[in-house]
Structures are given as C-alpha cells and as structure tokens.
Amino acid sequence: MALHRNSREPATDPYFGARLWLQTETRRGWVWAYNLEHLEVIKRFVQASLREGIPWHDHGRKMTVVARLPAWMQQAKNRDEVLRAVARIHTSLLRG
C-alpha cells in the first residue's frame, strides 16, 4: 500500500507529490492514511485477532486496501506497534 518504493521514507500523494498529513514513522516503516475512514479501516484490520471471514476478504478480492498493506503491518507480532502509530496519528489531529 506504499505510494513509493522505499517504506523508510514518508508517503507522498502520487499525483501532487505532497507529503501526506496522516502519517507517522515506526521502527518498521511508515503508517499512513489518506483520511480518517482509511485510518479506521487499518485500525480495525490490525486489531482483528481472527481475519477469516472478515468482510474485506469476501468474494476473493485481492486488491482491497487491507490486502495491500505491507507485510510487516499484517503480522500479529507488530500489532501493538501499528496500533500505537494509529493512536499517535489520532492524537496529532486533536493537538493540531
């Protein structure tokens, strides 16, 4: 789901080239979202302990937003780190 080839750099909009506002860095890479709805989908997916039968996997769709998340974000061992990053993004909105 990266907008660039290097996940160690901040994400930018592919059309305008502007850095995305909703993003934060983790030790594994950047967590970013286009808007609050996108951020919520990421949060719900990462929080799910069992991902079988979740609506975003129905009908064999492979190109969903969550299917394109980087592998490190999909791994259970990184769940807490990703959720902390999502919380940091939410907090930055409240401060800003």
pTM equals: 0.78
Contact at 8 Å (CB) between 10 and 52?
no
Domain boundaries along the sequence of the chain: 22-95
b/e per residue 34-73 (b: at least 16 CB within 10 A): eeeeebebbbebbeeeeeeeeeeeeeeeeeeebeebbeeb
Per-residue pLDDT tens digits of the chain, which is 96 residues long? 434 445 678 888 888 889 899 999 999 999 999 999 999 999 999 998 876 654 555 555 555 777 788 889 999 999 999 999 999 999 998 886
